[in-house]
Amino acid sequence: MTQTRTDTPPAWDERTQLTTFLDYVRATARAKCEEVSAEDARRAPLPGSPLMTLSGLINHLRWVEYYWFQVVFLGEEDQGPWTDKDPDREMRIAVDLPLERLLGEYEEQSARYRELAAAHPLDAKAATALRDGLRPDLRWILLHLIEETARHNGHLDILRELADGRTGV
């Protein structure tokens, strides 16, 4: 199923622009995985990056949003899959899960975070301070997630082309 993606916001206020772009890069990540085989979703074709798979990146994006919204912004206890000994575990465990499940979890979570972002002012400060002691506001978190997701979309694009030759816009 091809999803409609647009980076043109329905209104020009700052919140709508930020959330539209975040939804756009999320939809682009999902589009990079459309109709890919289960084998190709798990394949790591780059010799220097054994965890770099389509499945791994989708799971990483899911958990990155969890971390920034729930752990940093809301101040909840970190329940992510990573450990001190395996900081990239979310990418490692993804190859054992069906890509459709990972995409579904990512979409469900995105819907919850859309509501969370809508319920708070952009100037609202995170409950948890970063390493430098500063607490980012929701605006910065949205911008960071746009950047993180867009960067990984480039990785997804390369992996997809290596997997089956499919390229996208």
Q: CB within 8 A of 162, min separation 6: which ones?
A: 45, 46
Q: Residue 131 CB: number of other CB atoms within 10 A?
A: 5
Rounded CA gap, 146 and 81, in Å? 22
130 φ/ψ sector (left φ>0, alpha ψ -120 to 50, else beta): beta
Can you give the pLDDT at residue 169?
A: 67
Can you give the pLDDT at residue 167?
A: 86
Can you give the pLDDT at residue 160?
A: 97
Regions of the chain with pLDDT less than 70: 1-4, 169
Can you give the pLDDT at residue 2?
A: 43
Q: Write down all domains in the chain, each with its CATH number in brackets.
A: 14-164 (1.20.120.450)
Can you give the pLDDT at residue 4?
A: 64
Can you give the pLDDT at residue 7?
A: 86
Rounded CA gap, 23 and 115, in Å? 12
Can you give the pLDDT at residue 1?
A: 36
Here the contacts of 118-121 (C-beta below 8 Å, separation 24 or greater) are 118/15, 118/19, 120/73
